[in-house]
């Protein structure tokens, strides 16, 4: 584990938002992402609120009306309890004053299959995973979860502009090193990350995969990590999400 590895600059963690979520969801986690040394931000991946193509809701407002009219009828899928998709849906419920039944799966693929089949109604899935099904017409996208519209789905509004002000949630990734890693090693790694994102070909490939390119300082990643741990801790607390 990186948290216990030698702080020599040769061992790093490919960190993500789920490491920030895990602080609150798994009481016996055994490490704190905030105690690691932030190195560099790699980027964000948007999520899309997808629904069964026959669901009688074309936007968030219509979906909220459906959910409020019959709170016990509708369900949402996730790739598992305690995942980003799970917390995003609970965040949505809290922001809109709605209720849905959580149906956890073992991964996104079977969850999407059941949305297509109509066995479950909706899901907050990552852009790279959902977009092929959206383009094929097997599911419909009614909102994206970031504060800005996605270049991949420019005609799909954000959740925030659709009736849930301030809703903003994305997956993100960053590189972390063990606590106590020498500053010169952190600086060298950060420089390499930023050099990668300065390369148009590298950045273009990153965007083609459905991500927003990263870069920046270790301090910016540290601030993001602190904010995300606190933010998702509150969502998990309100939804009473605890695993293990």
Q: How far apart are CA 165 and CA 13, in angstroms?
A: 34
Reported as a pLDDT band with limits 50, 70 and 90, residue 73 is very high
Tell me the C-alpha to C-alpha distance, in Å, between residue 197 and each of 141, 168, 175, 201.
29, 24, 14, 9
Nearest Cα residue to 76 out of 93, 59, 96: 93
| pTM for the whole structure | 0.94
**Residues 120, 114 contacting (CB under 8 angstroms):** yes
Domain 1-239 has CATH 3.40.190.10: yes
Residue 39 clears pLDDT 90, i.e. is over it:
yes
Residues in the chain: 244
Q: What is the DSSP string of 125-164?
A: EEHHHHHHHHHHTSEEEEEESSSS--TTSTTSPBTGGGT-
How much is the mean pLDDT over the chain? Answer: 96
Residue 26 clears pLDDT 80, i.e. is over it:
yes
**Structural domain boundaries in the chain:** 1-239
């Amino acid at each position: 584990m990186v948290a216990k590895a030698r702080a020599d600059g040769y061992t790093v963690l490919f960190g993500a938002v789920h490491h920030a979520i895990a602080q609150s969801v798994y009481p016996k986690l055994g490490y704190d992402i905030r105690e690691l040394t932030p190195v560099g931000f790699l980027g964000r991946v948007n999520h899309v609120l997808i629904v069964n193509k026959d669901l009688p809701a074309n936007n968030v407002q219509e979906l909220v009306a459906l959910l409020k009219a019959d709170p016990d009828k509708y369900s949402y899928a996730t790739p598992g309890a305690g995942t980003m998709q799970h917390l995003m849906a609970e965040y949505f419920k809290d922001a809109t004053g709605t209720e849905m039944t959580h149906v956890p799966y073992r991964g996104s693929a079977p969850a999407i299959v059941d949305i297509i089949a109509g066995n479950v109604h909706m899901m907050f899935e990552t852009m790279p995973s959902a977009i092929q099904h959206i383009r094929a017409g097997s599911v419909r996208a009614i909102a994206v979860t970031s504060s800005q519209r996605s270049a991949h789905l420019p005609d799909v509004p954000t959740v925030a502009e659709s009736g849930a002000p301030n809703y903003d949630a994305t997956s993100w990734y960053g590189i972390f090193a063990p606590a106590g890693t020498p500053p010169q090693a952190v600086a060298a790694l950060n420089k390499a990350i930023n050099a990668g994102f300065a390369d148009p070909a590298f950045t273009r490939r990153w965007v083609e995969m459905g991500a927003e390119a990263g870069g920046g300082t270790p301090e910016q990643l540290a601030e993001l990590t602190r904010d995300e741990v606190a933010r998702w801790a509150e969502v998990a607390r309100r939804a009473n999400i605890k695993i293990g």
